[in-house]
Structure 1
Amino acid sequence: MSTVARTDPGAYTARHLQVLEGLEAVRKRPGMYIGSRDSKGLMHCLWEIIDNAVDEALAGHGERIDVVLHPDRSVEVRDRARGIPVDIEPRTGLTGVEVVFTKLHAGGKFGGSSYAATGGLHGVGASVVNALSGRLDVEVDRAGKTYGMSFRRGEPGVYDDTATGGAPGPDAPFTPYVKGSELRLVGKARRGVTGTRIRFWPDHQIFEKDAELDYAALADRARQTSFLIPGLQLVVRDERGLPGTPGESGPSEEVFHHDGGITEFVEFLAPDAPVTDVWRLQGSGTFRETVPVLDATGQMTPTELERECTVDVALRWGTGYDTRMQSYVNIITTPKGGTHVQGFEQALLKVFRKQLELNARRLKVGTDKVEKDDIAAGLTAVVTVRLAEPQFEGQTKEVLGTSAVRAIVSRVIEQELTDRITNPPRGQKGGPALLLEKVVSEMKSRISARLHKETQRRKTALESSSLPGKLKDCRTHEVGRSELFIVEGDSALGTAKEARNSEYQALLPIRGKILNVQKASVAEMLKNAECAAIIQVIGAGSGRTFDLDSARYGKVIVMSDADVDGAHIRTLLLTLFFRYMRPLVEAGRVYAAMPPLHRLEVINQNKRNDYVYTYNEAEMRRTRASLEKRGKRVKEPPQRYKGLGEMDADQLAETTMDPRHRTLRRVTLTEAERAESVFELLMGNDVAPRKDFIIDSAAALDRARIDA
């Protein structure tokens, strides 16, 4: 029997308690302030410094911010704003620069007189970055002078860069200040020029060895900030030469500058063709809040303040069903939402339920209730609010917690959106009507899909009689091993039944060309017998209800004829997968079979003739020329397959179905946005661009390739 040793309670006294003061607490528990010690935490440090510069721009000071990633893993942020104060702060007796970089919860964003709305709120950003840096240098231009100060892991002092060849770095000899700190005068600034330059080297004692600044994330953040603050120019320069980055082969620089604001941001984010124009909804509201305020005697006194919250939302609906929403508080992204997003969603639901109730007869709504997901289908929105001292959940500022914001946002959006739907501007009257029809269509599709999923999904044909009778299922229950061949026509099905291995290969015939789902609505797609059968047999749902883990087959293989009609059918099927079963494509589980177009019979003198299969006209001509060059005779004329049904079972198995001999072409989405635009061009509702494409490409078409 084991025993657990217990310590004497009397041995635990006050001397065992540790008091972490100042920046020591940050170095001991960095996760409390930056979330983690990996690349994500390192990026958070950079955001803190950039956000301070952005707050200056937000307050109307400075029109340019430069971010430079240096080869020595340091990063520099430069702005042309007011510059950090350099005079003495009376309570501490320290310069403003030292207060900002060494004191937690110190800055110009608490009193409300310097900033009306800010991203950096807790006064810990610069000091936390300083504490977690092996070295930090700051230079400030003010009043015609340039002031400088350096820190080593949060401690102010002086570096001797001459000992390391003149290049600044964390390994240079460092002398800390002993009696008092000094804000050094390091140069002169041009008259009227103000600003701040901060360069820091992340501390290798804190951050993981492989932690690196993510250029793509930095560029995305710079881009979105340029949208949120119209007129602000952000320049990102990468001098690291890291593989896989734009600066891999030399210094790379990108400039982000947009004057269109969040309206332009929504147009940039939108992935689909528009149903409505971009609508800008703006307004404001006030609320009262009791906060502790530092009085003249240094005491914290509860004080009731009136706050103003400004709401600015841009949104539009498109033809797709994906939702893309970005939310911000004082230009700081809130990826997990908060009260402003709750108010926005609450208003959307309220407005659309009321509008559908008023138009119930025209839209044939019935008794069903519209849900949030029905409204959000195809929605692209940027939701921004600005207010002084918002309450966030944690220093990482991912969720807004100020409760009064919800009601203000909800009221503004309800009023503005209702007015936009009921009184659209001249030339936009069709947009609201199409939008309401789209929402009703999404609602009916959701209900149909739910019923379809609940009543018709089955694991195998043996377990259910609801699967299509034309499905020739396989016997295996192993999803990873099973294959579903979607076969063009009943004649091909007959041959494929004899050619397949029924242990793991299932067959589903389709009749001719299925519905073009790029043009059709979701409801029309679900009503189409062929589309419904494919969704039903795969068994994983469609659209946003698609569940990849429920798919009944490991591979879905489109097996159509090798001619132009077959290519058209294959394109229609891939459009269905791309629009409504995209996770299946993303997982690499959709394939296109490659049946041959020709069979060449090579005549042999004393033995059976050989057969050679080719897959297009050019390959057939090359192969034939090669055989004749080697002295081989080819039987005339070469056989050209009009369809899969012309092959016998052995030929189909050997060329197209037997894994030992066949060639499959995997369908991927490495360029999803480009694929989306190509599908829209070739299969969408807008005829004019497709007509132009056909006219422009007509001259390049080989007439011999036309089936006639």
Structure 2
Amino acid sequence: MSPAPAATENREYEARHLLVLEGLEAVRKRPAMYIGSTDTRGLMHCLWEIIDNAVDEALGGHGQEISVTLQADGGIAVVDHARGIPVDIEPRTGLSGVEVVFTKLHAGGKFGAGSYNATGGLHGVGASVVNALSTRLDVEVDRLGATWTMSFRRGVPGTFDGPGPDAAFTPGGALRKAGRVAKGRTGTRVVYWPDRQIFLAGAQLSLTDLHNRARQTSFLVPGLALHVTDARTAEVARETFRHEGGISEYCEFLAPDRSLTDVIRLQGTDRFTETVPMLDDAGHMEPTDVERELEVDVAVRWGEGYDTTLRSYVNIIATPKGGTHVAGFERALTKSVGSALQGKRLLKAGEEVVKDDVLEGLTAVVTVRLAEPQFEGQTKEVLGTPAVSRLVSKVVDRELTAFLGSTKAAPKAQARAVLEKVVGASRARVAARAHREATRRKNALESSSLPAKLADCRSNDVDRSELFIVEGDSALGTAKLARSSEFQALLPIRGKILNVQKASVGDMLKNAECASIIQVVGAGSGRSFDMEAARYGKVIFMADADSDGAHIRCLLATLFFRYMRPLVDAGRVYTAVPPLHRFELTNPRKGMDRFIYTYSDAEYQRKAAELTKKGLNFKEPQRYKGLGEMDADQLSETTMSPRHRTLRRMTVDDGLMAETVFEMLMGNDVGPRKEFIIDGAYSLDAAAIDA
């Protein structure tokens, strides 16, 4: 007699509770597994899947035009003039090629059968996933002298009795012939309406993202024209993207700064053996060695800035999170530059360069093409094929070493500029690390890491503290007596500092005045600048109110704009405004100040006329030629005391315009500066010149 079931036996979980999802049901049940999410990103991913199928055809040399239209009724149409989806019967399923592509997961021509060499699609799920997540999808194929058509509703074949996704639907039906076309005409037209049962209510197609993707693709497939039409509003917008320059042109387009080198192409082809499971004649999976060909094409360009811009692609599919191809590129980049520096006497003993030094100011587009790449997931954001890292590294190392060691005049000069920039970045990184490791203010002073000529303040409140950069030691003595030592620090500089717009990073760091300013500010420089580490809430330039003082302020502004730009952007850099004249009243009325200051010649004329009109007598006004002519009380009252002073804040409303002006006034190119001076000379009032 069989034992009775135990009292604790759980009959709430048995085989009947297991759910088996057939066909496209799995896609609708777990859409995020296939498209990443059900918000705008997932909606755009569906569009990329359809566009990429057309691009894969163009990549194989079939068709040079793709049209994408965002329709007013919410539909999306993608049209190409390539070979067209096969319309004959697939022998295993007994279905037409069109129905197989749009209803069967892991079905297509990209599984190494010879139809495609290198493609963006390789899992065979893109078109079928889009179909499963669409309220309606219509496909038309021009092939074999006829137009073939088929419709689906949420992945189910059938027919609609009218246009649009709301038309009545009858399940059932197969691919049918809709008309005749010229015998040589081929192509595919797909129109689909995303299923709002799946996607979030706020998910909307992004025209900006579509334009960016179309532009990116036109760079990666030279000669391919992509027409994008937005018909969702009354004013239809059309844009065409076509670029013949390939990734060299793309690299220039992405670059955010002025060039230090031309665009350098690093190209090569290599082969590797990959072991993949394949079905044998008996239907068993057998590990098989397959020989693959890898094409490497990289465009790099160094600029004068500090930011790194790197885009990577596998078979024109973007890999924003990198992968083995990017790892190989970065490794070779560091190795080849390090090797090129050997024997160049640019690096001192004990100095070394790391990856971040080489990447500073670099714009790069890394592309590889290979059959059946291994991606991490359907969204294809990371390449995982192991052998790619070694081969990319080999190609990049070989080609970049040839560039850096070139004996031709132009490449040799550019290579030297790159190596100097890398060495400068290395030294700036080390200096920034030293700044971070040193404690701020008190401990820094105790360790004597700050310049001895700095007259620091006592307050540790960064927001309240102020650093005055003072022209000359003579003015420093007066300023020490005039300042509030509680929150005002003084750093004297000797005359005119280095023009950093013309000098290299290395020369700037060697300059004692520039180095001491960067050290005292305490936040590093360039790319490593850390706003949080700045030791003062305000930095104030204080120079004489003459042409030399104006030149010094301009040089200081250039240093801060070029190497400590975040301080300028945050509005924390100022110029003090010392007075030009002082009136001393001989008969001041009750409540009037005995001394009156003016800050320009025009103000001086108005004030003199006003005092004369009021019958107030004054001595011969004093004209200040420099800060050293003031005593401490006068300097405090007019220029340093927050209660009475005037400060001019440096602002950057248009960064590109500011960079252009700095380059014109302070850069190496004399022509534009000479033209600017000549043009200004005609509008100058000769009587206003202070002789």
Task: With the length of structure 1 as denominator, give the TM-score of the two structures.
Answer: 0.83
Distance in 2 between residues matched to 1:540 and 1:423, nearest whole Å: 38
In structure 2, do the counterparts of structure 1 residues 154 and 253 end up closer, same or farther at CA, with 3 Å as the change threshold?
same
Residue 598 of structure 1: how far off its partner (Å): 6.7
Quick one: which amino acid aligns to residue 301 of structure 2? R
Contact 2:405 2:412 survives alignment (8 Å): no
1:273-308: CA deviation from partner (whole Å, max 9, x where unpaired): 444332222111111112233567766544321110
Partner of 1:173: 167
Residue 351 of structure 1: how far off its partner (Å): 2.5
Bigger shift: residues 131-140 or 252-261: 131-140
Task: Work out whether 1:312 is the aligned partner of 2:297.
Answer: yes
In structure 2, do the counterparts of structure 1 residues 415 and 593 end up closer, same or farther at CA, with 3 Å as the change threshold?
closer
Partner of 1:336: 321
1:310-338: CA deviation from partner (whole Å, max 9, x where unpaired): 11122233334433322211111222221
Task: Work out whether 1:551 is the aligned partner of 2:534.
Answer: yes
Partner of 1:573: 556
Partner of 1:133: 134
Contact 2:142 2:188 survives alignment (8 Å): yes
Quick one: which amino acid aligns to residue 36 of structure 2? G
Contact 2:478 2:628 survives alignment (8 Å): yes
Distance in 2 between residues matched to 1:149 and 1:637, nearest whole Å: 98
Task: Work out whether 1:63 is the aligned partner of 2:64.
Answer: yes
Contact 2:327 2:389 survives alignment (8 Å): yes
Residue 125 of structure 1: how far off its partner (Å): 1.9
In structure 2, do the counterparts of structure 1 residues 534 and 386 end up closer, same or farther at CA, with 3 Å as the change threshold?
same
Contact 2:223 2:243 survives alignment (8 Å): yes
Distance in 1 between residues matched to 2:181 and 2:405, nearest whole Å: 57
Distance in 1 between residues matched to 2:620 and 2:135, nearest whole Å: 79
Residue 391 of structure 1: how far off its partner (Å): 0.6
1:479-510: CA deviation from partner (whole Å, max 9, x where unpaired): 34444444445566567667766555544444
In structure 2, do the counterparts of structure 1 residues 140 and 465 end up closer, same or farther at CA, with 3 Å as the change threshold?
same
Contact 1:365 1:440 survives alignment (8 Å): no
Partner of 2:219: 227
Residue in structure 2 matching 1:205, options 189, 194, 197 = 197
Task: Work out whether 1:355 is the aligned partner of 2:356.
Answer: no
Residue 343 of structure 1: how far off its partner (Å): 1.7
Residue in structure 2 matching 1:421, options 389, 399, 404 = 404
Quick one: which amino acid aligns to residue 304 of structure 1? D
Task: Work out whether 1:403 is the aligned partner of 2:390.
Answer: no
Distance in 1 between residues matched to 2:10 and 2:226, nearest whole Å: 59
SS in 1 for 2:261: coil
Partner of 1:216: 208
1:365-389: CA deviation from partner (whole Å, max 9, x where unpaired): 5354432233333332222111001
Bigger shift: residues 652-661 or 114-123: 652-661
1:24-64: CA deviation from partner (whole Å, max 9, x where unpaired): 32233232222233333333222222222211111111112
SS in 2 for 1:11: coil
Contact 2:541 2:576 survives alignment (8 Å): no
* RMSD between aligned residues: 4.1
Contact 1:112 1:388 survives alignment (8 Å): no
Task: Work out whether 1:366 is the aligned partner of 2:358.
Answer: no
In structure 2, do the counterparts of structure 1 residues 436 and 472 end up closer, same or farther at CA, with 3 Å as the change threshold?
closer
Contact 1:596 1:613 survives alignment (8 Å): no
SS in 2 for 1:61: coil
SS in 1 for 2:411: coil
Distance in 2 between residues matched to 1:175 and 1:403, nearest whole Å: 48
In structure 2, do the counterparts of structure 1 residues 452 and 239 end up closer, same or farther at CA, with 3 Å as the change threshold?
same
In structure 2, do the counterparts of structure 1 residues 328 and 655 end up closer, same or farther at CA, with 3 Å as the change threshold?
farther
Residue in structure 2 matching 1:540, options 515, 519, 523 = 523
Q: Percent identity?
A: 64
Contact 1:556 1:589 survives alignment (8 Å): no
SS in 2 for 1:111: coil
Partner of 2:98: 97
Contact 2:466 2:536 survives alignment (8 Å): yes
Residue 266 of structure 1: how far off its partner (Å): 2.3
Contact 2:540 2:576 survives alignment (8 Å): no
Distance in 2 between residues matched to 1:105 and 1:268, nearest whole Å: 37
Distance in 1 between residues matched to 2:602 and 2:67, nearest whole Å: 54
Distance in 2 between residues matched to 1:460 and 1:134, nearest whole Å: 68
In structure 2, do the counterparts of structure 1 residues 404 and 316 end up closer, same or farther at CA, with 3 Å as the change threshold?
same
In structure 2, do the counterparts of structure 1 residues 365 and 650 end up closer, same or farther at CA, with 3 Å as the change threshold?
closer
Distance in 2 between residues matched to 1:111 and 1:423, nearest whole Å: 41
Distance in 1 between residues matched to 2:214 and 2:538, nearest whole Å: 41
Contact 2:438 2:444 survives alignment (8 Å): no
1:70-109: CA deviation from partner (whole Å, max 9, x where unpaired): 4555443332222222333332333323322232222211
Residue 540 of structure 1: how far off its partner (Å): 1.8
Partner of 2:270: 285
Partner of 1:21: 22
Quick one: which amino acid aligns to residue 386 of structure 1? R
Contact 1:562 1:594 survives alignment (8 Å): no
Residue in structure 2 matching 1:387, options 370, 373, 379 = 370
Distance in 1 between residues matched to 2:482 and 2:158, nearest whole Å: 81
In structure 2, do the counterparts of structure 1 residues 188 and 425 end up closer, same or farther at CA, with 3 Å as the change threshold?
farther
SS in 2 for 1:308: strand
Partner of 1:165: none
Partner of 1:595: 577
Residue 520 of structure 1: how far off its partner (Å): 1.8
SS in 2 for 1:210: coil
- What runs of 5+ residues in structure 1 fail to find an aligned partner? 1-6, 163-167, 242-248
Task: Work out whether 1:88 is the aligned partner of 2:71.
Answer: no
Residue 15 of structure 1: how far off its partner (Å): 2.8
Residue in structure 2 matching 1:687, options 650, 661, 670 = 670
Contact 1:27 1:132 survives alignment (8 Å): yes
Residue 161 of structure 1: how far off its partner (Å): 4.4
Distance in 2 between residues matched to 1:499 and 1:424, nearest whole Å: 59
Bigger shift: residues 386-395 or 74-83: 74-83
Partner of 1:435: 418
Distance in 2 between residues matched to 1:204 and 1:57, nearest whole Å: 31
Distance in 2 between residues matched to 1:465 and 1:387, nearest whole Å: 58
Residue 525 of structure 1: how far off its partner (Å): 1.7
In structure 2, do the counterparts of structure 1 residues 240 and 520 end up closer, same or farther at CA, with 3 Å as the change threshold?
farther
Partner of 2:155: 154
1:613-652 correspondence to structure 2 within 5 Å: none
SS in 1 for 2:204: coil
Residue in structure 1 matching 2:506, options 523, 529, 552 = 523
SS in 1 for 2:138: strand
Distance in 2 between residues matched to 1:240 and 1:638, nearest whole Å: 71
In structure 2, do the counterparts of structure 1 residues 90 and 652 end up closer, same or farther at CA, with 3 Å as the change threshold?
farther
Quick one: which amino acid aligns to residue 41 of structure 2? K
